[in-house]
A = this chain, B = another copy of it.
Amino acid sequence: MAKSRPPFASPITRILESLLDRYRDCREGDVASYIPELAKVDPDTFGICVATLDGHVYEVGDSRRRFTVQSISKPFVYGLSLDDHGVDGMARKVGVEPSGDAFNAISLGEEDGRPLNPMINAGAIATTGQVLAGDPATRLARILEMFRRYAGHPLEIDAAVYQSEARTGHRNRAIGHLLRNYDVLTDDPTPVVDVYFRQCSILVDCHDLALMAATLANQGRNPVTKERAIRAEHVESVLSVMASCGMYDSSGGWIHDVGMPAKSGVGGGVLAVLPGQFGIGIFSPRLDQKGNSVRAVRVCADLSEAWELHQFNPPYCPQTSRRHVHTSAEKHSSRSRHAREAACLRDHGDAIRVFEVQGSLSLATTEPIVREVLSAASDLRSLIVDFQHATAINVSSVALLADLASQLRDMGICVLFTHASRLPEIPRVVADRLGPVAAADILRHQSLDAGLESCENDLISAFLPDQDRRILDVSDYELAAGLSDTERAVLTSLLITRRYGRGESIVREGDEAHALFLIASGVVGAWTGPGGESARRTASFSPGTMVGGMAFIDGGPRSATLVADDDVECAVLQRGDFERLESTHPVVYAKILRNIAISLAAKLRLASAHLDLVTRRR
């Protein structure tokens, strides 16, 4: 259901109200009178609704006053027949060219009798006849069921209007017979025309129209109920015929002035679709000479101009999907490393490049990224494309990135796509194009940090083959810097060796801190957040580094759970033993304290630099 109203009037509502005010006194045009029942409507009725793609509906005026859908039914029934027969199947029955003639002209192709498009009556009757059904009642039921999905609730037929249409609709019956004559309709046309009369007599209000439009804007899925009303691949066909033929024979002027696919009906309704943005429904029954609601046309033109909705209005600047690029020399992973390894990354980390992408990736926004990667490719060992901040990606964009990955892998460059499982298109298309083995390799790291850490490990292995060697001497720990031999002996006497198996917890987030850990061998990972799926590895630590210093020093809770990545050996300094040093060996105590403070300062410098990079970027 639509969300509850905010406690304050939205500026959007105010804009819609100002449009009601602007055109309330406009009494140009006349209500439809070609069937007597339509002429009974209150001509001053006026409602406007705008539905968003998350199902919020802004509505002003007579937005819940019902009227008959009339020609607005045409694109929807066309969509249903596309779902039944496909684009090519329907193309054999109805064209997609504007006729240049009025809606009730009998514009049939000279040779095949094919109506020029599904928005003129001839095309719409032909379309209704294509809806698959064994009998007229089933056909009507399928049409009503389709409208229910678009509107989000069952719609009724106005019996009086239907009967009025049925009594007077001789021209449409003639069209039916002509279509039968050309074998566009292959059975008795009379029941088809009858269903057509009924579909035109379906009752809707502006709220319905806005949601029906929003469903088309939303790839065919109702934004409130999430029900699918039409296959996604047929939406662009429906919108295209609305764009070229939706507003009777002022469709060219409409697309020029308003610039969005729309459909009007002689009942006084207009429905307009902003693909990916909004659905709009307007009701005001006075019509211009072409059969379009006078006020609705003006409201749409004003909205299009005020809200910059014209579909052919190029954006002020091209969208960019390139969020940030950095090398591992500029910002490395969260692995704390021994000074020797850190220096290696500073020297050679330029060969690892990270492209963070953002937003909705289309081919146009992906292309510049591919170009930039290729221009740097000769200097690369590893490329990471991180999708953490991507909100959507087109299949064509994944294909382009997959082709890029394939090309780079052929050159011996490691390619990783991280946070890629967020968008299901990525694993699917990468596997389709490169096969499951290459896809598994490219997608093997979920997080950017893990991917970067792995690329760094490879780089360090190439330059420092002994990187993961065991710490054999206490003097090699950063905690022991500056200690004399005798002072170091005091420290050594306090250190207890502990071993942890792969996956074993060393400390838990939130625990009181009783110890400081000096890593002798293996790698320790720091995890934050609740356990299971939502836990996140925020840092890791190589041999020689100390871990747990923050809580050890400030007495606060552990900031992370520490887990052995593999078999880990630590030298452990207990807090009680350390505190006792304050009185027994104050000089050793102060030196260790200073080394801890220096380690914290180093981590703080790093964190500040990362934060600076993150917040300064762009």
Contact surface of A with B, Cβ cutoff 8 Å: 6-12, 14, 52-54, 56, 95-101, 116-117, 216-219, 235-237, 239-241, 243-245, 249-253, 255-256, 259, 261, 274-278, 306-320, 358-360, 362-364, 367-368, 370-371, 374-375, 377-378, 388-389, 391-396, 399-400, 403-404, 407, 411, 425, 528, 536, 538, 549-551, 553-554, 556, 559, 582, 586-587, 589-590, 593-594, 596-598, 600-605, 607-608, 610-612, 614-616, 618
Contact = CB atoms under 8 A, between A and B. Distances in A.
B317 A392 contact: yes
B253 A96 contact: yes
20 contacts: A6-B374, A7-B375, A8-B407, A100-B116, A219-B314, A239-B312, A241-B256, A275-B312, A307-B363, A308-B396, A528-B612, A554-B602, A589-B590, A593-B593, A593-B597, A597-B600, A600-B601, A603-B604, A607-B608, A611-B611
Contacts of A404: 11
A582 B593 contact: no
Contact of A600 (B308, B538, B604): B604
Contacts of A371: 6, 10, 56
Contacts of A216: 314
Given A98-B100, A275-B314, 19 more contacts: A6-B377, A7-B378, A8-B377, A10-B374, A11-B370, A11-B403, A56-B371, A97-B100, A244-B244, A244-B251, A277-B318, A277-B364, A308-B396, A320-B391, A358-B358, A553-B594, A604-B607, A607-B607, A614-B614
Nearest to A253: B96
A253 B97 contact: yes
Given A407-B11, A593-B590, A363 B309 contact: yes
Given A306-B396, A363-B307, A218 B12 contact: no
Contact of A559 (B219, B319, B375, B608): B608
Which of A241, A407, A608 gathers most chain B CB within 10 Å?
A608
Contacts of A311: 275, 311-312
B244 A256 contact: yes
Contacts of A388: 615, 618
Nearest to A237: B256
Given A317-B360, A318-B53, A597-B597, A252 B244 contact: yes
List the number of copies, as a whole number.
2
A395 B485 CA distance: 71
A373 B173 CA distance: 55
Nearest to A423: B316
Contacts of A6: 371, 374-375, 377
A510 B53 CA distance: 52
Nearest to A321: B359
A277 B612 CA distance: 32
A205 B310 CA distance: 30
A9 B538 CA distance: 38
A135 to B, nearest CB: 31
Nearest to A241: B256
Contacts of A276: 314-315, 318-319, 364
Nearest to A549: B601
A338 B498 CA distance: 40
Contact of A611 (B52, B391, B594, B607): B607
Contacts of A116: 100
A133 to B, nearest CB: 26
A278 B362 CA distance: 12
A291 to B, nearest CB: 15
B240 A312 contact: yes
A235 to B, nearest CB: 6
B252 A389 contact: no
A11 B400 contact: yes
A276 B245 CA distance: 25
A165 to B, nearest CB: 27
Given A219-B316, A360-B316, A363-B307, A601 B256 contact: no
Contact of A275 (B315, B587, B602): B315
A440 to B, nearest CB: 21
A472 B92 CA distance: 91
A17 to B, nearest CB: 13
B607 A54 contact: no
B391 A317 contact: yes
A538 B602 contact: no
A245 B252 contact: yes
A360 B315 contact: yes
Contacts of A389: 618
Nearest to A422: B618
A367 B364 CA distance: 25
Nearest to A585: B586
A117 B391 contact: no
A596 B601 CA distance: 10
B12 A367 contact: yes
B256 A554 contact: no
A96, A378, A538 — most chain B CB neighbours (10 Å): A96
A277 to B, nearest CB: 4
A277 B582 contact: no
A261 B244 CA distance: 12
Contacts of A244: 98, 243-244, 251-252, 255-256
A261 B310 CA distance: 13
Nearest to A391: B320
A216 B313 CA distance: 10
Contact of A96 (B14, B256, B310, B313): B256
Contacts of A363: 277, 307-309
